[in-house]
Amino acid sequence: MGELTPELRGFLDTVQVGVLATSAQDGRPRQSVVYFARDGDDLLISTLGARRKAKDVERSGWASLCVMALEPPYASATYSGSAEILTSDIGVPTAAVVQRVTGLPEPPEPQTDEALAAVDRVVLRIAIERVTAVTHMETR
């Protein structure tokens, strides 16, 4: 139940992908790999409004993201918190995630909310409240 230390915050900037977990309607966990971006102490994920992960977040208001280094000893941590689906002012956060996917030095020009809505793009935002299951990292 740790707090978000500078190291745990910085770790989020070293890996582009993580495993998102939400709670399905039957209470079972649902997991998928997602690209994400960090904005302060928030995690931003671009997805489609019709996706089950988006419906889970609308229903439960909570999500977690487990992030793992891609080489041994696989340093890792799980970041959890209140989550919501955003459809307004999502041009800039969507561009931030696209930059992570593409690896471009700058984010692309932000799209309008209307253009993103036309293709069902939404932003899943997690406000980090807890960091758990931290391995192979200094937590202070």
C-alpha torsion 124→17→135→140, nearest 10? -70
14 three-state secondary structure: coil
Q: Does 78 bind its own copies (CB under 8 A)?
A: yes
Q: Does 127 bind its own copies (CB under 8 A)?
A: no
Interatomic CA distance for residues 71 and 55, integer angstroms? 33
Q: Does 66 bind its own copies (CB under 8 A)?
A: yes
Sole binder of its own copies in the list 4, 5, 9, 17 (CB under 8 A): 17
Minimum CB separation of residue 70 from its own copies in Å reads 4
Q: Does 55 bind its own copies (CB under 8 A)?
A: no
Please tell me what DSSP assigns to residue 87.
Answer: -
- Residues at the interface with its own copies (CB under 8 A): 17, 19, 21-23, 27-33, 60, 62-64, 66, 68, 70-71, 74, 76, 78, 80, 132-133, 135
